[in-house]
């Protein structure tokens, strides 16, 4: 296992992903300790989603420049990017889950209240497009949101954006 992590195609993206997780946690805690709800204050330009392309780019650039003689094949870019965004997604989701479960569950309550207000403020549009029944169903589901649901939602969003961005960045940076 230790030899695997020393392989640049695996070790480099893990290193950049860990930096991304650390930066995410630091920014999350900075927002929290300045009196903001980090799950709400970071929207719509969530800093976690902004870290993904930066970390993918730097991991691919580092691998290409320092370990692969200035070349980057598309599959290498995809592999490096995949590991980077997947580790970031797992790490930040775990951080969110642990924070909401053990550190301050009130942050989850603030997030739920914010999402309910958002749904209620766009009730007319919501009902016109999806119907009254679905509107009430969404309100009920939102009030039952758990730390696990928020963490899983964050994970899947990061995986989706990471895949899309990895394809773009790997295509641009190849050879």
Examine residue 18 and state whether it is found in any structural domain, yes or no: yes
Task: Give the residue, 4 or 173, on which the prediction is more confident.
Answer: 173
The predicted structure's pLDDT at residue 127: 80
The predicted structure's pLDDT at residue 71: 94
> Tell me: the pLDDT tens digits for 7-65?
999 999 999 999 999 999 999 999 999 998 998 866 545 777 889 999 999 999 999 99
How many angstroms separate the first and last alpha carbons of the chain? 29
Examine residue 128 and state whether it is found in any structural domain, yes or no: no
Task: Flag whether pLDDT at 136 surpasses 90.
Answer: no
Band the pLDDT of 2: cuts 50, 70, 90: low
Model pTM score: 0.90
Q: What is the CA angle 115-119-125, rounded to 5?
A: 155
Examine residue 89 and state whether it is found in any structural domain, yes or no: yes
Examine residue 68 and state whether it is found in any structural domain, yes or no: yes
Q: How many residues does the chain have?
A: 175
Examine residue 117 and state whether it is found in any structural domain, yes or no: no
Examine residue 164 and state whether it is found in any structural domain, yes or no: yes
To the nearest 10 degrees (0 to 180), the angle between helices 47-62 and 8-33 is 150
The predicted structure's pLDDT at residue 4: 64
Task: Flag whether pLDDT at 5 surpasses 80.
Answer: no
Q: Residue 48: which domain range?
A: 2-103+147-173
Examine residue 137 and state whether it is found in any structural domain, yes or no: no
Exposed e or buried b for every residue in 120-153, given b needs 16+ CB within 10 A?
A: eeeeeebeeeeeeeebeeeeeebeebebeebbee
Examine residue 56 and state whether it is found in any structural domain, yes or no: yes
Q: Quick one: tokens of 152? A: 């899983």
The predicted structure's pLDDT at residue 41: 65
Counting the structural domains of the chain, the total is: 1
Alpha-carbon distance 132 to 125, whole Å?
10
């Amino acid at each position: 296992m230790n030899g695997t992590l020393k392989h640049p195609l695996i070790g480099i993206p893990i290193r950049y992903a860990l930096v991304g997780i650390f930066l995410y946690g630091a920014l999350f805690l900075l927002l929290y300790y300045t009196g903001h709800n980090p799950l709400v204050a970071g929207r719509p330009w969530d800093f976690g989603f902004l870290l993904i392309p930066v970390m993918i780019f730097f991991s691919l650039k580092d691998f290409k420049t320092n370990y692969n003689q200035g070349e980057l094949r598309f599959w290498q870019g995809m592999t490096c990017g995949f590991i980077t965004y997947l580790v970031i997604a797992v790490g930040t989701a775990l951080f969110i889950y642990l924070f909401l479960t053990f550190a301050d569950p009130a942050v989850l309550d603030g997030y739920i209240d914010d999402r309910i207000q958002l749904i209620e403020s766009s009730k007319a549009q919501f009902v016109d497009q999806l119907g009254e029944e679905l509107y009430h169903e969404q309100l009920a589901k939102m009030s039952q949101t758990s730390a696990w649901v928020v963490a899983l939602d964050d994970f899947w969003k990061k995986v989706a954006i990471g895949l899309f961005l990895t394809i773009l960045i790997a295509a641009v940076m190849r050879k």
